[in-house]
Amino acid sequence: MLDLVNVEYDTLIPNNVNLSKDKRVQKALEKWHPGYINWWNDLIPQDFQNSLVYLRTAVSVDPKGWAKFDYVKMPEYRWGILLAPEVEDRTIPCGEHYGEKAWQEVPGEYRAMLQRLIVIQGDTEPGSVEQQRFLGKTAPSLYDMRNLFQVNVEEGRHLWAMVYLLQKYFGRNGREEADDLLIRSSGSEEAPRMLGAFNEETPDWLSFFMFTYFTDRDGKMQLESLAQSGFDPLSRTCRFMLTEEAHHMFVGETGVGRVIERTCQVMNENGITDPYDINKIRSLGVIDLPTIQKKLNMHYSLSLDLFGQEVSTNAANAFNSGIKGRYMEHRLDDDHKLGDATYPVTQLEDDKIVLKDMPALTAINMRLRDDYRRDASGGVGRWNKMMAKMGVEFEMKLPHEAFNRDIGVFAKKPFDPEGTLLGETEFNEKSKDWLPTSSDADFITSLMVPCVEPGKYAGWIAPPKVGIDNKPGDFEYVKLHIA
Ligand SMILES: [Fe+2]
Ligand SMILES: [Fe+2]
């Protein structure tokens, strides 16, 4: 346990917000800190608390040298508060205040909206750590275990980032919200996390890779649009978080890629050309490609729900007030106000999917979801190239946006992955081919045995092409047993 009386926050917590000069916020953070440490200690299995993990810690915001790598015990990780450097004369990039000077303080009229957005973002960060809490026990290698913990401590830091904003800019109310972020918990009956995808389980490593590829990518899109905020401290916070988020995308894309690669390798070694020869493929201890596709279907459709309703006045208000921009707002070539502009939105009319031009302001969520789909298809293309190169005839596909949805115009409608509306009965009969079944889950779980010898990998996943921080193949990324 840390000695909180004598904590010199300027040294214990890396920060570039002049914490030692900001007594009020420093005190609030000191008060919040023990609860956070308790949350971490209760969460991460005890054996790993004492392990030395080769982690990167953010120590600066200089894009060229912002992190340093070293062995750290996770409870001693230096969760810092770091904002991207202030951009001189930054202006509000969108909405009715377009071109005005960016806010350094919370604009009173938008206080409630801003606080809500920060709380929702903050709620996702610890949520994902909670979902992934048991995965360390079944890590397919020390390399993967280290990556899991890296993602976890950084999500923890993202929570700090949002808590800092709440405590610095939202007074008593903000402090209460900061406390509540440690009370809600993933999957809890009484106090679940705010968004559905963060209450699902992450029961195995393929789910973890899919989660970091698809769900963290939703996080990236949200951060990208909050990085466009006219409220400058939020923008600067999110811009720095995005540098860390890039690694989470990497873990997801290479993780799924390595699972696919290993399956293809084993199929080739055993002369299996039919990817649907599922029993034979599974008997060789690798995950068949159709099952990987089912996991993809599930995680992608769950992540689409995170974008909310296609047409939303909340989203319109957030944009119009300059609190949240569009993806790459500064690169878009229009008036950034969207007074008369329209945007094509998918709608259901008499059970037919139609594209309808709607006021672009109310279609902000739809647009971000479209940007997300394009962003998410990149890695899928690279996985497909790899399979083709290995001579395996199979293609991963993003399912149609109408498939398996819980939110928006397609919610609860029995669409198949191609976007065809089926009858309820037909859908239920066929859904075992599209979504993981309990027997798929059992099979995947059966493969989840830990492999913790340096340089060794579980049989269902290929080793990475390069090590973290250019370390050699047999590097001991996690020292598990410390005297
Ligand atoms: Fe995050
Ligand atoms: Fe993340």
pLDDT in tens, 8-35: 445 567 788 888 889 899 889 989 999 9
**Residue 309 to residue 302: CA distance in whole angstroms:** 13
pLDDT at 212: 97
CA of 195 to the centre of ligand 1 (A): 14
The one-character DSSP state at 239 is H
Nearest to 320 by CA among 307, 334, 332, 336: 336
Cβ proximity of 259 and 206 under 8 Å: yes
Low-confidence stretches of the chain (pLDDT < 50) are 1-9
Q: What is the pLDDT of residue 11?
A: 59
E-state strands within 288-441: 342-349, 352-359
Per-residue pLDDT, 3: 30
- pLDDT score, position 6: 30
Residue in 337, 382, 388 with CA at minimum distance from that of residue 359: 337
- The model's pTM is 0.95
Rounded Cα distance, 325 and 52, in Å: 40
Residue 68, classed as helix, strand or coil, is strand
Ligand nearest to the CA of 248: 2
Note the pLDDT of residue 68: 86
Domains of the chain: 9-479 (1.10.620.20)
Q: Report CA(321)–ligand 1 centroid distance (Å).
A: 25
Q: Output the CA–CA distances (angstroms, integers) from residue 403 to 144, 374, 380, 406, in the order listed.
A: 31, 17, 18, 9
248 C-alpha to ligand 2 centroid (Å): 5
The pLDDT value given to residue 483: 55
Expressed in angstroms and rounded, the spacing between residue 279 Cα and the centre of ligand 1 is 38
Distance 124 CA to ligand 1 centre (A): 7
Radius of gyration, CA atoms only, the chain:
23
DSSP 108: G
How many helices and strands, by DSSP H and E, does the chain display? Answer: 15, 5
Distance 28 CA to ligand 1 centre (A): 22
CA of 302 to the centre of ligand 1 (A): 17
Q: How far is the CA of 125 from the centre of ligand 1 (A)?
A: 5
Which are the contacts of 121, defined by CB distance < 8 A and separation ≥ 6?
Answer: 162, 222, 223, 226
Residue 306 CA, ligand 1 centroid: distance in Å:
14
Nearest ligand to the CA of 161 is 1
Burial 81-108 (b: 16+ CB within 10 A, else e): bbbbeeeeeeebbbbebbeeebbeebbe
Ligand nearest to the CA of 150: 2
